[in-house]
Amino acid sequence: MKQRNPKSKLLMGPGPSNPDPRVLRALSEPTLGHLDPDYVAIMDETAELLRYVFSTKNALTIAVSGTGMAGMETAMVNSLEPGDKAIICTAGAFGDRMAEVAERVGAKVVKVESPWGEPIDPEDVRKAIRKNPDAKVVGIVHGETSTGVLQPLDDIAGAVHEAGMRIIVDTVASLGGVDVPTDRLGLDVVYSGSQKCLSCPPGLAPITLGEKAVSFIENRKTTCRSWYLDLGMIRRYWSFERFYHHTGPSNMIYALNEALRIVKEEGLEARFARHKAAQEVLIKGLTELGLKPVVNEPYRLPTLTTVYVPEGVQEGEVRKQLMDEFGIEIAGGLGVFKGKIWRIGLMGTNATKANVIRLLGALKEVLK
Ligand SMILES: *Cc1c(COP(=O)(O)O)cnc(C)c1O
């Protein structure tokens, strides 16, 4: 058989990012049974480290087996019953997906929209809440990877809670790179993915639920529409009960555990500052190359920068050359931004000035 030998590349798209070498070594530690005491001790420690990155004391804080989309689906299917009304904020591809997932769960979806490249206006959310006082949840994306917008959450979370509703937040592209204030804002359900700012391979979806969200699970009238993603059962596996639900992906948990240790060693504040500093160097360099950022401050997502493709430049060709000649991956636009923008990720371990300089040098060569 032909040898399988994928080359290492610098992953500066919207994810996955390059895992830290320590994380890849952790992946190769011995596989253990899902109820092995050594393994469940590592699960417990991983949950504790997740509480640190989510800035929460929430008891129900775990990693769902699956990627970020499994996190989104878990959040929706465990927060809604068929017929419930959900207000979903969308200003990009992942907001659209949230609405679609909520609909598939059987919810009646009301959308609050903003143009791509802009944040959701809290006043629009207030209006939707006033018009739909019977809504149960409000869903919103914190770091919208399709546009590069960082959504401020303070006002919106306040309005949601005043109305007695629950807020569900997608932090797949922000957790570990930008402050996710779970407890400060009382965010009810927050989910993420392992392969973006946590610098772990794809395959796990961290999630945390506050008291109101847990009480919903305990008191729902209909059974959860998903068996595999039913947190009512999964949490019994992550608790002292160790009820068998599905085989724990032990090696992935080792990897996430190591990735979270690295986050803790660096410290959240230092990590956020590093992401911000790397983006500043990137924006300065892109501007010097004559490229215009899509998003204005203070709404720039530090972990993913969007920039317009200059007139007359073949955007796909530039990405191909960056990959073929320099081994660097960046991404093109989605939806209304298709063919019009590039998306440059600075996530986790990758968010360094050295990587930014490497990309800027390569981009300068290619654009010549
Ligand atoms: C990447 C991403 C997702 C989806 O995660 P997958 O790991 O690809 O399933 C969801 N939301 C946002 C904001 C993302 O950036």
pLDDT tens for each residue of 46-90 = 999 999 999 999 999 999 999 999 999 999 999 999 999 999 999
pLDDT digits (tens, 9 = 90+) for 298-330: 999 999 999 999 999 999 999 999 999 999 999
Distance (Å) from CA 241 to ligand 1 centroid: 31
Confidence band of 213 (pLDDT split at 50, 70, 90): very high
Which residue minimizes the CA distance to atom 8 of ligand 1? 68
Residue that has been written with the tokens 């596989």 in this structure: 31
Nearest to 362 by CA among 320, 333, 332: 320
Dist CA 119 CA 295 (whole Å): 9
- Over range 187-207, report the average pLDDT: 98
Distance (Å) from CA 44 to ligand 1 centroid: 25
Which atom number of ligand 1 is nearest to the Cα of residue 144? 13
The verdict on the CB of residue 67 being under 6 Å from ligand 1 is: yes
- Over range 18-39, report the average pLDDT: 96
The b-or-e profile of 67-89 (16+ CB within 10 A means b, else e) is bbebbbbbbbbbbbbeebbbbbb
Confidence band of 188 (pLDDT split at 50, 70, 90): very high
The reported pLDDT for the residue numbered 140 is 98
Probe ligand 1: pick from 98, 145, 195, 200, max atoms within 8 Å of CB? 145
Distance (Å) from CA 192 to ligand 1 centroid: 8
Distance (Å) from CA 144 to ligand 1 centroid: 9
The reported pLDDT for the residue numbered 233 is 97
The reported pLDDT for the residue numbered 24 is 98
The reported pLDDT for the residue numbered 115 is 98
Confidence band of 367 (pLDDT split at 50, 70, 90): very high
The reported pLDDT for the residue numbered 251 is 98
Under 8 Å between Cβ of 146 and 96: no
Dist CA 342 CA 146 (whole Å): 10
Q: Hey, what domains does the chain have and what are their CATH numbers?
A: 10-15+268-367 (3.90.1150.10), 21-264 (3.40.640.10)
Dist CA 317 CA 366 (whole Å): 9
The verdict on the CB of residue 94 being under 6 Å from ligand 1 is: yes
- Over range 171-175, report the average pLDDT: 98
Strands (E) in 38-177, as ranges, are 60-65, 85-90, 108-113, 137-141, 143-144, 149-150, 166-170
Paired residues of 139 in beta bridges:
88, 168
- Over range 14-30, report the average pLDDT: 97
The DSSP annotation for 211-245 comes to HHHHHHHHH-SS--S-STT-HHHHHHHHSTT---S
Nearest to 177 by CA among 203, 139, 143, 201: 143
Q: What percent of the chain has pLDDT over 90?
A: 98
Which atom number of ligand 1 is nearest to the Cα of residue 141? 13
The reported pLDDT for the residue numbered 36 is 95
Q: In what order do the strands lie in the sheet with 304-308?
A: 304-308, 341-345, 331-332
The verdict on the CB of residue 151 being under 6 Å from ligand 1 is: no
Report the mean per-residue pLDDT for the chain.
97
